[in-house]
Amino acid sequence: MSLYFGLIMFLCIVPTLVICFFQMYPKNWQEKKLILGVKNREEFREGEAHEAVNKIYQKCRRQALGIVIVGCIISAILLLLRGFALQTTLWMSFILLALVAISIPMAVGNRELKDLKRRLGLKEGAGISFVDLSNAGNVRALKGWQVALPNAVGSLFLIPVLLEDLGVIRLGTGMEAGSFLGTGVMGICVGMGLLISALAFLMDGLRNEVISSDSAVNANYNRAKKKNFADFFVMFLWVNVIFMIGLAGLFYFRYSDALSLITLTLYLGLVMVGIAVFVSRDKRIEALYHKDMVLLSDDDDSWVLGMFYYNPKDKRLNVEKRVGVGGTINLAHPMGKVLGGLAALCLLGSVLSVVWICMLESTPIRLYTEEGRIVCHQLRDEYVIEYGDILAVSFGENVRELRMIKVNGVGTDQLLKGIFTVDFEHDCRVFLAPAAGNYIRIQTLEHTYYVSGATAEETQEAYEALVAYGVGF
């Protein structure tokens, strides 16, 4: 389990770093319309200015390459980690640091190029934007049916899974049926498809970029760019559907943690391939139209560090990125401020979640009896079961023999806690330390509990206290 998790993280971060490097720091900056988030002017390719720009750029590129190499080495080392909490904490921390680190040379170079512009007196045209009225708003590449079809197919796979959980039909023999685990996961996938669709239409509706005084050139350029975006998002939607089909098969015919992680790995692999194809096509489009790029909006000062767009005079919410591919929001727009705040909260929530998981795994669980009740405690009282509510009690020697599917809660090699399906019985309350080995099964009128202490001795002591009191016997 730990190895599979590490491989998934490795397959996510290493290709991401490599793609970011080639997208943010291309080899031939002279042929690009932007350099380190700054408009690439003719003056930058002449005389002493060319030498100064090239020196700044090559320094940033070398630094970024060093960061990528170090990031790949650290990623390989992290594959050796074991323990879910430790893995999650270090991988999440490393991914955030790596993405920030790969952007630092860009931010520094962006500031240096802006300083160079000021020293060269290149201020004319600042803040000017061009609009091609012949093609304003009429270049689109995405058709409604292209996103409706995969979303409809994905929803069709959700329906039988929901009916299975409701007990209307019977598809397979897995323990997951009736737990609503499949419905929840498939529902998330359907929601992901709808979110991808919204992003696709958002990108397709970006204001057309003006690169030339020739309207035909502008139309063809924007059509090619938007078709690349459309093809990528449609591919993403179909990969999402394939993933749903794989999950449906896992949930209702042959589920295992290993197979689910393999399915997730294949899904991420397909997404990475799609991103690589998208980036490659984007580079070809930029190279094809490079000579036609004579009119470009010079709004360098509206791009903070070349990556964050803040322009109170621009009424658009979303604009195309200057660094990387895709779109970003105008942080000066009222809705942009809301979305930026939500993004910051999501990032903070992710960090706090990792901290919470680490606390859970590093804090031993406790199982004890007191005043006519049995208490399962970790950080707070998770379950308090009154003796009078207990109908039956049994003792198990080996927790590993239980067939368990997590529905909600924590499921790691060190801790099992929350709502699980256990041996085809749904809605079981689980509070187990697998390392303890043994466990107690407690049946009440409302729930079935599987509990243990941090050690076999602690579990045995709690069971003997129940036996001595005659509970459930």
Confidence of residue 177 (pLDDT cuts 50, 70, 90): low
pLDDT in tens, 11-38: 788 888 888 888 888 888 887 778 888 8
| Mean pLDDT, residues 120-125 taken together | 63
| Mean pLDDT, residues 187-204 taken together | 85
Confidence of residue 238 (pLDDT cuts 50, 70, 90): very high
How many Å apart are CA 93 and CA 354, to the nearest integer?
Answer: 9
Confidence of residue 53 (pLDDT cuts 50, 70, 90): confident
Sign of CA dihedral 273, 279, 280, 282: positive
In this prediction the pTM is 0.67
Structure tokens at 282: 């984007």
pLDDT, averaged across the chain: 81
- The residues facing 420 across adjacent strands are 406, 428
| Mean pLDDT, residues 440-463 taken together | 90
- Please tell me the predicted confidence (pLDDT) of residue 127: 46
**What proportion of the chain, given as a percentage, has pLDDT over 70?**
87
| Mean pLDDT, residues 291-316 taken together | 75
| Mean pLDDT, residues 327-345 taken together | 83
Q: Which residues of 443-464 are buried (b: 16+ CB within 10 A; e: fewer)?
A: ebeeebbbbbbbbbebbbebbe
| Measured CA distances, 372 to 47, 453, 465 (Å) | 88, 18, 10
Q: Which position has the higher pLDDT, 124 or 393?
A: 393
How many Å apart are CA 389 and CA 394, to the nearest integer?
Answer: 15
**What proportion of the chain, given as a percentage, has pLDDT over 90?**
11
pLDDT in tens, 371-383: 888 899 888 767 8
